Structure 1
Amino acid sequence: MCSGGFAKCLGITLIPLAVVCVLCNILLFFPGGKVVESDHITDEVWYSGGIFGSGVLMIFPALVFLGLKNNDCCGCCGNESCGRRFAMLSSILFATVGLVGAGYSVIVSAVAIDHGPKCLALEDGKSVWTYPFNTNGYLTDSTMWSKCTEPVGVVSWHLALFSVILIMGLIQIALCAVQVINGLLGALCGDCCGCCGGVSMFSYALDS
């Protein structure tokens, strides 16, 4: 597969990942599936790592990757090969934007998982909205989850959705990093970088 076609595959993969991250972040505004007051929502949710980092910022590189196969940059003064090389080189910039966005999403999600959700819990004999988990020990000890009395199921909701965003963000980082390498190869060697010719030679060798 040539570098332009490979970039298109990456773009196709990035779009559903971005959509999943946006949906997960939106659901986090409803802890435990409940509507609560804005100041009762976990702080990291407002940072919108899934919406902006792995969502909006990821759409731009995804669309660029999708169009690379057919983009010759006006032929670069009549030279189609030159135009495709420039297009592949420019894709590195958009891949970097994707890396930054996904990196932001991953950091926010990791902090949120470590911090735990904001919920109604007993503190000094009073029920207050707070962060009851001072350490991340709650990740391995589910009996601690009972500290959160409201909203019901907020801890599992918090962990599940932020974990999905974290995993999707890591996959996006990997895909954008791959495109940086793919873009460099495409810029240096051309859209096919000799691979199509190599495939033809390989097929000829097999036939003979």
Structure 2
Amino acid sequence: MCSGSFAKCLGITLIPLAVLCVLANILLFFPGGKTVSNNDYISEEVWYFGGILGSGLLMIFPALVFLGLKNNDCCGCCGNENCGKRFAMFTSIIFAAVGVVGAGYSFIVSAVAINHGPKCKTTDGNWTYPFNNGDYLSSHSLWNACAEPQDVVPWNLTLFSLLLIMSGMEAVLCAVQGLNGLVGTLCGNCGCCGCCGGDGTV
């Protein structure tokens, strides 16, 4: 079943992406690679767990479903194994949609975080968000507004950018599986219940 084999390849790709997203989100709890004395000093978007929940744990379920599609016949359908596989491909569309939602959530959180900039201790001693509307992205000289933690700006920018890219890839892969699942559902090589007998004959 070609569509099942393709889904398995997508599942194999999604697993490492999900793990990397979880790791990236965990690293964001250590601004500039350092621990902070107060959790309030961590950027608000980090606590939305976009990488841990959205493109991480929530992505594991679609990935596992995709991995098992090739050999899953859903116990057959009226004795017709191919029909069961068509039903399995149909259910994969639902899990693909779950994956798109999870990856989309992580993508949006990452985009907002990049535009907002990190929370840091400014030169006047206050912990705040010194950047507005992503202005620091085009001017590295503005990064000096953050006195502590050291290197927090490139740290957050790099990790949230990675989350943005990886969650975008996950969303695309899940969308592709949605189409693949639709093809596998509609273009099977057998009739189904109601149009074939228990032995698969028309």
* TM norm structure 1: 0.89
Measured in 1, the distance between the counterparts of 2:45 and 2:129 equals 12
Pairwise CA distance, 1:130 = 0.3
Q: What RMSD, in angstroms, separates the aligned Cα atoms of the two structures?
A: 1.2
Q: Which runs of 5+ in 2 are unaligned?
A: 191-202
Matched residue, 1:7: 7
Pairwise CA distance, 1:135 = 2.9
How is 1:1-208 mapped onto 2 (pairs within 5 angstroms)? Answer: 2-36=2-36, 37-122=38-123, 126-190=124-188
Amino acid at match of 2:112: V
Kindly provide the CA deviation profile for residues 20-50 of structure 1, in whole angstroms up to 9, marking residues without a partner as x: 1000000000000110121100000000100
Amino acid at match of 1:179: Q
Matched residue, 1:203: none
* Identity of matched residues, %: 70
Measured in 1, the distance between the counterparts of 2:6 and 2:78 equals 25
CA contact (8 A) 2:115 2:132 kept: no
Measured in 1, the distance between the counterparts of 2:77 and 2:164 equals 40
Matched residue, 1:197: none
CA contact (8 A) 1:31 1:151 kept: yes
Pairwise CA distance, 1:189 = 1.1
Q: For this pair of structures, how many residues does the alignment match?
A: 189
**Displaced runs of 4+ in structure 1, greater than 2 A?**
none
Q: Structure 1 residues 50 and 144, CA, compared in 2 at 3 Å: closer, same or farther?
A: same
Measured in 2, the distance between the counterparts of 1:161 and 1:190 equals 42
Kindly provide the CA deviation profile for residues 163-196 of structure 1, in whole angstroms up to 9, marking residues without a partner as x: 000000110011001001000000011279xxxx
Q: Which moved more, 1:130-139 or 1:50-59?
A: 130-139
Q: Structure 1 residues 80 and 42, CA, compared in 2 at 3 Å: closer, same or farther?
A: same
Q: Which runs of 5+ in 1 are unaligned?
A: 193-208
* TM norm structure 2: 0.91
Q: Which moved more, 1:105-114 or 1:136-145?
A: 136-145
Measured in 2, the distance between the counterparts of 1:177 and 1:65 equals 12
Measured in 2, the distance between the counterparts of 1:190 and 1:38 equals 54
Amino acid at match of 2:108: I
Measured in 2, the distance between the counterparts of 1:70 and 1:176 equals 19
Q: Secondary structure at the match of 1:77?
A: coil
